[in-house]
Amino acid sequence: MQDLAWWQHSVVYEIYPRSFQDSNGDGIGDLKGILTRLDYLVRLGIDAVWISPIYPSPMADFGYDVADYCGIDPIFGTMEDFDLLLAELHRRGLRMILDFVPNHTSDQHPWFLESRSSRHNPKRDWYLWRDESNNWPSHFGGSGWELDATTNQYYYHAFLKQQPDLNWRNPDVKAAMFDALRFWLRKGVDGFRVDVMWLMIKDDQFRDNPPNPGYQLGQPSHHRLLPIYNADRPEIHDLVAEMRAVLDEFPDRVLIGEIYLPIEKLMTYYGRDMRGAHLPFNFQLLQCAWNAESVAQVISDYQGALPAGAWPNWVLGNHDKPRIASRIGASQARVAAMLLLTLPGTLTLYYGEELGMTDVPIAPEQVQDPAEKNEPGLGQGRDPERTPMPWDDSPSAGFTSGTPWLPLGDNAASNVAAIEHAPRSILTLYRRLIDLRRIHPTLVRGKLQSVIAENDVLRYERVELGTRILVLLNMNRKPVRVTLHSGTVLASTSLDREGQKLSGTIDMEAAEGLILSLDL
Ligand code: NOJ
């Protein structure tokens, strides 16, 4: 795969650092903890880790409220720990992607403390201050505007009031933030996942958003309005191109954008002449109904909308969405693994998916997430998918010697120690599937064709000169009969059919997936 950039043939693994591995007994994961688990990541076969924010932060939104873009929060360790982790990842041939949070800072960031101190402060214009508010909401409930008593003006915050939005139209903001990027790039960080990329620029006239005619009671309150003027503004693309240019000052780095938009809009984030994000995150699999027809449709829609020269990517989970195994069940989670790892392009999975980890129920008194605290009961809470990684069956799952910051799930049967060497476990399946991409580069770069849904079986082919790989995924609860030309099984979700020669009419078990090398 020498013809591809590293990030094009990578499987990216998201680590939510609070929950991966604790090293000092405070119940919260840290960098030293991650360091002790690198060999696990190597065995899993992933290529890059994306680590959610580790910068100094009051943790109002667990690190997505940054108080210093060039430091490490003591909860996670020190800069020495960071340097060591980066070096050790690189020594093992793994890449490191950091989370960059440019839309907003913490209200404790020195820039905001200055900005709010007086209307005439040189940093006043670094944030969005107005005499009057408008109807733009916060994603975490209530108005997006906070009246600040010191100067009697409102500032805008798309998330918590402790997360004031930066004014990206101000050239000094750009310069300071781009320098923060360079700080990490110079250290050798391999790229960034950019938080809420599509929200960074707002309407310069601060026009009110129109009502959303599709709003239904019970939905989070920010859905009441259509986000016309505070999201996806035309000017965003020049800004993303500028950010990309900063990364391009360094060889071989990747820019990934977190963007929740419909496919057509998402594609615009590749930028004019592919000068935008290398990878606008594709969240289609997190959102679509789990049946062969819907999945076939999103695959075709996404692939069909890719502009010339754009590299595809697929995401199976992240720290903001319910876990896949909870959404679709344990047996379909194996099908989802096979789906993800046979799709074209760069793939991202979330820690624990390889164990079939499920959401953990959180009692009201255990809630940590501000999204749940602000709007309880609407299903906004993200704690269930952020619980500690179960490494073994000990009381704290090998995650910590203290009390974990969020409760553990039932780790008795499903933990790394129990299933890593089990020949048919989901973890073994993940390892096999990741391995298969290395053995058969057609799975990474081959053309995707003949995407069909039939009797709730999703089938597609990955094709290159001289190679045809067929994927069959039974998304049904019932066994099903399918027909095929003839070929050899490379992998099956139950890990018991490898090497079988199949042709004509074959029977597939409920929730079975097969990858076949077709005879030509
Ligand atoms: C998106 C992040 O993924 C989420 O966790 C965070 O709360 C918001 N952006 C605000 O930064």
pLDDT, one tens digit per residue, over 35-45 is: 999 999 999 99
Q: How many CA atoms lie within 13 A of 390 on its CB side?
A: 28
Question: DSSP of 76-139, one letter per residue?
Answer: T--HHHHHHHHHHHHHTT-EEEEEE--SB--TTSHHHHHHHH-TT-TTGGGB-EESS--SPBPT
- pLDDT category at 381 given cuts 50, 70, 90 is very high
Distance of CA 282 to the CA centre of its chain: 9
Kindly report the protein residue whose alpha carbon is nearest to atom 8 of ligand 1: 64
Mean pLDDT calculated for residue range 451-472: 97
Predicted confidence at residue 377, as pLDDT, reads 86
Predicted confidence at residue 413, as pLDDT, reads 82
The alpha carbon of 244 and the centre of ligand 1 are apart by a number of angstroms equal to: 21
Crossing angle of helices 171-187/236-248, nearest 10°?
A: 30
Q: Which of 435, 404, 191, 76 is nearest to 68 (CA)?
A: 76
The alpha carbon of 195 and the centre of ligand 1 are apart by a number of angstroms equal to: 6
Specify whether 392 is catalytic: no
Specify whether 195 is catalytic: yes
Choose the catalytic residue: 179, 204, 248, 249.
249
Alpha helices (runs of H) in 149-249, residue ranges in sequence order:
171-187, 236-248
The alpha carbon of 258 and the centre of ligand 1 are apart by a number of angstroms equal to: 9
Distances (CA, A) of 429 to 11, 258, 390, 410, 502: 15, 28, 18, 21, 21
- Average per-residue pLDDT for the chain: 97
11 conformational bin, left if phi > 0, alpha if psi -120 to 50, beta if neither: beta
* Residue-wise pLDDT tens digits, 169-189: 999 999 999 999 999 999 999
Residue 338 tokens, joined: 């096979």
247-263: b or e for each residue (b if 16 or more CB lie within 10 Å)? Answer: beebeebbbbbbbbbee
Mean pLDDT calculated for residue range 196-221: 95
State which of 106, 140, 195, 374 you would mutate to test the pocket of ligand 1, scoring each by most atoms of that ligand within 8 A of its C-beta.
Answer: 195
Q: How many CB atoms lie within 10 A of CB 410?
A: 11
In the three-class reduction of DSSP (H, G, I as helix; E, B as strand; rest coil), residue 201 is classed as coil
Question: What is the number of the ligand 1 atom nearest to the C-alpha of 61?
Answer: 7
- pLDDT category at 444 given cuts 50, 70, 90 is very high
Reported pTM:
0.98
State which of 54, 106, 159 you would mutate to test the pocket of ligand 1, scoring each by most atoms of that ligand within 8 A of its C-beta.
Answer: 159
- pLDDT category at 412 given cuts 50, 70, 90 is confident
Question: What is the number of the ligand 1 atom nearest to the C-alpha of 65?
Answer: 11
The answer on pLDDT for 139 being more than 90 is: yes
Question: What is the number of the ligand 1 atom nearest to the C-alpha of 159?
Answer: 10
* Residue-wise pLDDT tens digits, 58-104: 999 999 999 999 999 999 999 999 999 999 999 999 999 999 999 99
Q: Are 378 and 220 within 8 A, CB to CB?
A: yes
The answer on pLDDT for 200 being more than 80 is: yes
Predicted confidence at residue 13, as pLDDT, reads 98
Predicted confidence at residue 378, as pLDDT, reads 84
State which of 193, 196, 385 you would mutate to test the pocket of ligand 1, scoring each by most atoms of that ligand within 8 A of its C-beta.
Answer: 196
Residue ranges of E strands in 316-377: 346-350
Kindly report the protein residue whose alpha carbon is nearest to atom 4 of ligand 1: 320
The alpha carbon of 194 and the centre of ligand 1 are apart by a number of angstroms equal to: 10
52-86: b or e for each residue (b if 16 or more CB lie within 10 Å)? Answer: bbbbbbebbbbbbbbbbbebbbebbbeeebbeebb
* Residue-wise pLDDT tens digits, 106-127: 999 999 999 999 999 999 999 9
Distances (CA, A) of 495 to 353, 354, 513: 18, 15, 10
DSSP element (H, E) containing 439 = helix 426-439
Question: What is the number of the ligand 1 atom nearest to the C-alpha of 382?
Answer: 5
The answer on pLDDT for 27 being more than 80 is: yes
The alpha carbon of 204 and the centre of ligand 1 are apart by a number of angstroms equal to: 23
The answer on pLDDT for 2 being more than 80 is: no
Q: Which of 370, 320, 314 is nearest to 341 (CA)?
A: 314
State which of 14, 16, 61 you would mutate to test the pocket of ligand 1, scoring each by most atoms of that ligand within 8 A of its C-beta.
Answer: 61
Q: Find all residues with CB under 8 Å of 427, minimum gap 6, and list them.
A: 44, 354, 355, 416, 419, 420
Choose the catalytic residue: 81, 195, 354, 375.
195
Share of the chain above pLDDT 70, in %: 100
Share of the chain above pLDDT 90, in %: 96
The answer on pLDDT for 486 being more than 80 is: yes
Q: Which of 454, 309, 377 is nearest to 8 (CA)?
A: 309
The alpha carbon of 319 and the centre of ligand 1 are apart by a number of angstroms equal to: 9
Question: DSSP of 210-231, one letter per residue?
Answer: PB-TT--TTS-GGGGB--SSSS
Q: Which of 258, 247, 227 is nearest to 52 (CA)?
A: 258
In the three-class reduction of DSSP (H, G, I as helix; E, B as strand; rest coil), residue 432 is classed as helix
The alpha carbon of 81 and the centre of ligand 1 are apart by a number of angstroms equal to: 25
Distances (CA, A) of 476 to 253, 292, 337, 471, 480: 41, 8, 16, 15, 8
The alpha carbon of 284 and the centre of ligand 1 are apart by a number of angstroms equal to: 18
Kindly report the protein residue whose alpha carbon is nearest to atom 6 of ligand 1: 64
- The residue type found at 372 is E
The alpha carbon of 103 and the centre of ligand 1 are apart by a number of angstroms equal to: 10
Kindly report the protein residue whose alpha carbon is nearest to atom 10 of ligand 1: 64
* Ligand 1 binding site (Cβ under 6 Å of any ligand atom): 61, 64, 101, 159, 195-196, 258, 319-320
Kindly report the protein residue whose alpha carbon is nearest to atom 5 of ligand 1: 320
Q: How many CB atoms lie within 10 A of CB 120?
A: 7
Distance CA 183, CA 426 (A): 39
Tokens 């179960």, located at residue? 390
Question: What is the number of the ligand 1 atom nearest to the C-alpha of 64?
Answer: 11
* Residue-wise pLDDT tens digits, 311-363: 999 999 999 999 999 999 999 999 999 999 999 999 999 999 999 999 999 99
Predicted confidence at residue 232, as pLDDT, reads 98
Predicted confidence at residue 132, as pLDDT, reads 97
- The residue type found at 272 is R
Q: Are strands 95-100 and 48-51 parallel, antiparallel or unpaired?
A: parallel
- pLDDT category at 1 given cuts 50, 70, 90 is confident
